[in-house]
Structure 1
Amino acid sequence: MIREGSSIAAGSVLRADVCIVGAGAAGISMALRLTGHGMSVLVLESGGFEHDDSTQALYGGRVADAKLHSPPDKYRHRRFGGSTAIWGGRSMPFDPIDFEARPYVPDSGWPISFEDVLPFYPDANLLIEAGRFQYDAESAFGPDAPPLIDGFDSPRVRTEGIERFSTPTNFALRYRRRLELAPDVTVLLGANCTGIRLAADGKTVRRVDVATLAGNRFSVECADTVIASGGLEVARILLVSRDVAAAGIGNAHDNVGRYYMCHIAGNVGTLTVNGPVSRVRHGYEISPDGIYCRRRLSLTEPEQHRLGVANMIARLHFARITDPAHRNAVLSGLFIARSLLSYEYAKRLQDGATQGWGHKLRHLWNIVSGPYDAVSFVTHWIFKRTLAQRKFPSIVLRNRTNRFSLDVHGEQVPLRESRVTLTDDVDALGMPRIQVDWRYCQLDIDSVARTLDVFACEFERSGVGTFEYERDRLEDDLTLFGAYGGHHIGTARMGSDVRTSVVDADCRVHGVEDLFVAGSAVFPTSSQANPTLTVVALALRLADHLKSRWQAVQG
């Protein structure tokens, strides 16, 4: 059942076995997993079915450096389905090495292993509609699948890893009907969690306070509470809940909001492959189960250990869009039309340089000089992206020169100084807004550089081509767009030591018996991977844990 929070009588106390705060990928996945087992589940969602400016404004806040991080109300959607309304669908699991405590990645190490999460990945893959849980080329395409680059074989560099793409699935559209029909799940829209209130001893949750923008206020009492509101909002809810825990729930050791990570990313260097263009498979391939897939470059795990570098992948990419020297009509068309694109994508079409009329005229000349390419691209985009149910993931142009940049996506070292804090400003509900102070370190840049050096060495050794990049401008290339992609990670990190973490291996807040966190906030490290698939897998794992707790109480 789905209802409006405004329909609840003011001052009411609702009761449920499980209360989930947030109906994004994590919250909806948990609700779907818990239904049908005799439990009552209540999901509190701030937004409605559509975007609403006043609701979205609740995400407003500050950033310490606007060049390094987008405003807090960007990349996040406060609505039913959460940010799955805007995600690109890129999916891949974390690697086993990501869960390890690596001495060369400070503050790394999860209290669980890859094997603990692995059983939940296949179901997560189905929920996000990315097909089978197969993430190497041979299992996805068969043993005769052509390589990424014909003739390239390296004991140090993997080229058989793939990423899969969701439709991309908007969880609100895909799962709304299932939740409407579920007799044991109630979703309340327009219902904002304004605080978690603990019992006097601080060991259990007494109630969850809820408010609507219209001024209605009520509360929820439940056996277990889960905060599944996204990496930034999780920190805010824990920090504002300070009536019993003076520093905020789970924050006795000042860890809530700290270790905030995204990813280190950017387009770097030039890879020139020898021979015909048919030698390279740089675009999207369709798997036998109908999923768009793409190959990636990465170091093997033994090589990462040997070099002492953080995890990183790279995709073959076209030249920098902002530079008209590429002489490509499609890229220039995208640059000229960037004001018509969504914030998330238009941001990557800025390079920070002054762009006068001469620069724009060169782009316009590219468009005029290549009308066939432009028309072909627009036609493809309309039928394969705009009108398609399973959308073509992104722009991939025909390979005509065997010259590529590398699209780098790297793990960020967790830094305690990188953090989310509260400000003195308040939103329409009276809740303090946040300030985001995202930071990176030289180790992040050096890890990418040393990985790229191996790529260059192995391309030259194999004779397939050359890769060159400017080491002096690498940091600028990797921070050109700041914190990448709205991947809000690590603000309520998982760990076995209460002095350095917020939740335990079961995602339970340290010291509170019945309060849990779902989502990327609990990740101790960021991996090379986009977080959504692992967010859903961990949400399913947590749902099974809560189901076991409930069954144990029932006897």
Structure 2
Amino acid sequence: MLLNANDLPDHARLAADICIVGAGAAGISMALELSDCGLDIVLLESGTKEPDPRTQALYQGTVEDPALHSPPDRYRQRQLGGSTAIWGGRCMPFDAIDFQARPYMAHSGWPIGLPDLAAFYPKANAWCEAGEFAYTIETAFDDTRRPMLEGFDERHFTTDTLERFSCPTDFGTRYLSRLRVSPDVRVVLGGSVTGLTMSDDGAEVRQVEVRTLAGKTCTVVASSVVLAVGGLEVVRLLLSTPGKSGRGVGNAHDVVGRFYMCHLAGTIGQLMLAPSRRGWHGYDVADDGTYCRRRLALRPEVQRSAGIGNFIARLHHPRITDPAHRTAILSLLFLARAFVPYEYAKRLHGDDKIPASHWLRHMLNVLAGLPSVIAFLWHWLRDRTLAARKFPSIIIHPRTQRYSIDFHAEQEPNPDSRVTLGTGVDELGMRRLHVDWRYTRQDVVTVQKALALLAQDVQESGVGVFDYDPQAVEAEMTRYGAYGGHHLGTARMGDDPLTSVVDRNCRVHEVRNLFIASAAVFPTSSQANPTLTVVALALRLVSHLRVLHTNARPPAGDMQ
């Protein structure tokens, strides 16, 4: 059932077994998974079915260093479906090493391991519509596929693992009809949570306070409350209520908002393949039509021996801004930069200052390669714009067998990298966020050592030469600042309340009926995009809530 908070009587009071705040990937999958349990679910969403600038402005805030972090209202979407309305669809599970405490990675280690999520990953894959849960070449395909790098000796890296791509699925659109007809789920749109009313001892959420931009208010009373909002908004909701300590709900030990991570990402160097070698950086298509892509993944045992974090690399086209690539399609993308969404334009073009002469050279590249431009535009229209399962990204196959390297790496948890309440307030009177994202020396070392190992493997295999400037690594990994919408670690999971916000079941340590289903609970970031693991953790929490509310036995493999 869909409701609008503005259509409810002012000061309405809704009662439910479980109240879920946030209708993104985690919130929607949780609500629908719980809909067959005989429980009454209220799912609160600040936005409506369509994006609205006034609602989106509630995300605005400040950043300590604009060169290192985008404005807080970017890469997030305040509407039904949340940020799945704008995501790229890349899915992959975490690796076993990501959950382990590593002496060279400060503050690492989860209270759960990969086996604790293994039962939930396949279903999360289904919710994300990323095809079969098969993330290696051997498990995903029956036939032999062309090698990523012909003749590559996989000493430090493997090319066997895959990224799989969702449609990408906008959860708000895809699951709207199921939300409409579900008798157990009431979706309340247009109402923003502005605070939590706590019990006198601060150990329980008594009610959730909701307000609309039109000035109406309502409250939700529920036995359990789940914050299924992003890693930034979790901080605002927890700190906006004083809680037992007076410092914010769950913040007795000043951990909420700390350990803020994104990912380390950039594009660097030039990989020149030998004339006798061939590279493949396109997509392999599974039988069900799912796009899959291989990458160079640093082996776990190499991470341990080198004392560095998780790291992957992909073959990538040359830097678009430099017309010396003489590639019509890349120049077309440069010239069309004003029409590319912010979330992608920043990585495509960066903030380079472009000489005026380059614009003319880009135009000449396009004119010289008009046939390839026409073929590309037709491919994009057919396989991206009009297709239900969209071609994931721009792939340019260079005739010269020269690539740049696109990397994505784990960030070390850092308590000084943090999100706090700022000084300004939004239209609803809530304090805005201030973001102070920082990276550590270990982060730089991870990328430096991983790239050096990659260059070694390429050369010793006889594949070619990977040429890059080791002195430029830090500048390249911070060229775009914190990576996109991966807001992680601000309400980290752990067994010790002194150093974490939630326990292994995602319950806030100091509040018996408050849970968090968000990338905010990640103690470490892995190299992987977070959405699939967010949904898997949300489904694990569903299993726990079913036991709490119905005394049902968890299915085999679910958490106890």
Asked if TM exceeds 0.5, the reply is yes
Partner amino acid for 1:122?
P
Is residue 211 from structure 1 mapped to residue 211 from structure 2 by the alignment? yes
Residues 147 and 160, structure 1, Cα contact 8 Å, conserved in 2: no
Local SS of the residue matching 1:422 = strand
1:353 is displaced (CA, Å) by: 3.2
Q: Which residue of 2 aligns with 1:389?
A: 388
CA distance in 2, matches of 1:153, 1:356: 41
1:156 is displaced (CA, Å) by: 2.2
Is residue 90 from structure 1 mapped to residue 87 from structure 2 by the alignment? no
Partner amino acid for 1:383?
R
Partner amino acid for 2:507?
R
Q: Which residue of 2 aligns with 1:275?
A: 275
CA distance in 2, matches of 1:20, 1:377: 43
Q: Which residue of 2 aligns with 1:66?
A: 66
Deviations 1:311-348 (A, max 9, x none): 01001001011111111111111111111111101112
Q: Which residue of 1 aligns with 2:110?
A: 110
Is residue 153 from structure 1 mapped to residue 153 from structure 2 by the alignment? yes
Q: Which residue of 1 aligns with 2:133?
A: 133
Q: 1:140 to 1:38 in 2, by over 3 A?
A: same
Residues 264 and 411, structure 1, Cα contact 8 Å, conserved in 2: yes
Local SS of the residue matching 1:20 = strand
Q: Which residue of 2 aligns with 1:260?
A: 260
Residues 140 and 288, structure 1, Cα contact 8 Å, conserved in 2: no
Residue pairs, 1:17-32, within 5 angstroms: 17-32=17-32
CA distance in 1, matches of 2:106, 2:185: 42
Residues 243 and 250, structure 2, Cα contact 8 Å, conserved in 1: no
Q: Which residue of 2 aligns with 1:328?
A: 327
1:350 is displaced (CA, Å) by: 3.4
Residues 311 and 447, structure 2, Cα contact 8 Å, conserved in 1: yes
CA distance in 1, matches of 2:51, 2:428: 18
Q: Which residue of 1 aligns with 2:527?
A: 528
Partner amino acid for 1:502?
V
Residues 321 and 352, structure 2, Cα contact 8 Å, conserved in 1: no
Residues 202 and 243, structure 2, Cα contact 8 Å, conserved in 1: no
Q: Which residue of 1 aligns with 2:166?
A: 166
Q: Which residue of 2 aligns with 1:507?
A: 506
Residues 138 and 145, structure 1, Cα contact 8 Å, conserved in 2: no
Q: Which residue of 1 aligns with 2:177?
A: 177
CA distance in 2, matches of 1:34, 1:112: 23
Structure 1 unaligned blocks of 5 or more: none
1:290 is displaced (CA, Å) by: 1.4
CA distance in 2, matches of 1:107, 1:92: 23
Deviations 1:446-467 (A, max 9, x none): 1111111111111111111111
1:243 is displaced (CA, Å) by: 5.5
Q: Which residue of 1 aligns with 2:549?
A: 550
Partner amino acid for 1:225?
V
1:399 is displaced (CA, Å) by: 3.3
CA distance in 2, matches of 1:244, 1:195: 14
Partner amino acid for 1:360?
W
Local SS of the residue matching 1:145 = coil
Deviations 1:232-288 (A, max 9, x none): 0001000001154410001011110111111000001111121356x2221111012
Q: Which residue of 2 aligns with 1:233?
A: 233
Q: Which residue of 1 aligns with 2:307?
A: 308
Q: 1:422 to 1:548 in 2, by over 3 A?
A: same
| Deviating more after overlay: 74-83 vs 342-351 | 342-351
CA distance in 2, matches of 1:508, 1:347: 36
Deviations 1:189-222 (A, max 9, x none): 0011101121011111111111111111111111
Partner amino acid for 2:399?
R
1:513 is displaced (CA, Å) by: 0.6
CA distance in 2, matches of 1:194, 1:489: 22
1:155 is displaced (CA, Å) by: 3.2
Q: 1:365 to 1:193 in 2, by over 3 A?
A: same
- Structure 1 segments, 4+ long, off by >6 Å, are none
Deviations 1:366-401 (A, max 9, x none): 111111111111111111100111100000012311
Residue pairs, 1:356-395, within 5 angstroms: 356-395=355-394
Q: Which residue of 2 aligns with 1:352?
A: 351
CA distance in 1, matches of 2:52, 2:195: 22
Residues 121 and 536, structure 2, Cα contact 8 Å, conserved in 1: yes
**RMSD of aligned C-alpha atoms?**
1.3
Residues 63 and 436, structure 1, Cα contact 8 Å, conserved in 2: yes
Is residue 284 from structure 1 mapped to residue 280 from structure 2 by the alignment? no
CA distance in 2, matches of 1:460, 1:343: 37
Q: Which residue of 2 aligns with 1:415?
A: 414
Instruction: Tell me how many residue pairs correspond in the alignment.
Output: 553
Provide the identity percentage: 53
Partner amino acid for 1:265?
A
Local SS of the residue matching 2:120 = helix
Residues 243 and 249, structure 2, Cα contact 8 Å, conserved in 1: no
Partner amino acid for 2:90?
R
Q: Which residue of 1 aligns with 2:459?
A: 460
CA distance in 2, matches of 1:548, 1:322: 55
1:485 is displaced (CA, Å) by: 1.8
1:32 is displaced (CA, Å) by: 1.2
Q: Which residue of 2 aligns with 1:442?
A: 441
Partner amino acid for 2:203?
K
CA distance in 1, matches of 2:439, 2:376: 37
Q: TM-score, normalised by structure 2?
A: 0.97
| Deviating more after overlay: 340-349 vs 110-119 | 340-349
1:300 is displaced (CA, Å) by: 1.0
Structure 2 unaligned blocks of 5 or more: 554-560
Deviations 1:409-429 (A, max 9, x none): 000111111111101211111
Q: Which residue of 1 aligns with 2:223?
A: 223
Is residue 39 from structure 1 mapped to residue 61 from structure 2 by the alignment? no
Is residue 406 from structure 1 mapped to residue 405 from structure 2 by the alignment? yes
Deviations 1:151-195 (A, max 9, x none): 213232111111000000000110000011100000000011101
Local SS of the residue matching 2:117 = helix
CA distance in 2, matches of 1:354, 1:397: 24
Local SS of the residue matching 2:452 = helix
Residues 265 and 478, structure 1, Cα contact 8 Å, conserved in 2: yes
Residues 546 and 552, structure 2, Cα contact 8 Å, conserved in 1: no
1:361 is displaced (CA, Å) by: 1.1
| Deviating more after overlay: 243-252 vs 310-319 | 243-252
Residues 250 and 501, structure 2, Cα contact 8 Å, conserved in 1: yes
CA distance in 1, matches of 2:351, 2:56: 27
| Deviating more after overlay: 157-166 vs 6-15 | 6-15
Is residue 319 from structure 1 mapped to residue 329 from structure 2 by the alignment? no
1:147 is displaced (CA, Å) by: 2.2
| Deviating more after overlay: 5-14 vs 299-308 | 5-14
Residues 311 and 528, structure 1, Cα contact 8 Å, conserved in 2: yes
CA distance in 2, matches of 1:428, 1:276: 62
CA distance in 1, matches of 2:198, 2:335: 53
1:553 is displaced (CA, Å) by: 9.3
| Deviating more after overlay: 236-245 vs 369-378 | 236-245
CA distance in 2, matches of 1:381, 1:553: 49
Local SS of the residue matching 2:175 = helix
Residues 420 and 437, structure 1, Cα contact 8 Å, conserved in 2: yes
Local SS of the residue matching 2:493 = coil
CA distance in 2, matches of 1:427, 1:3: 24
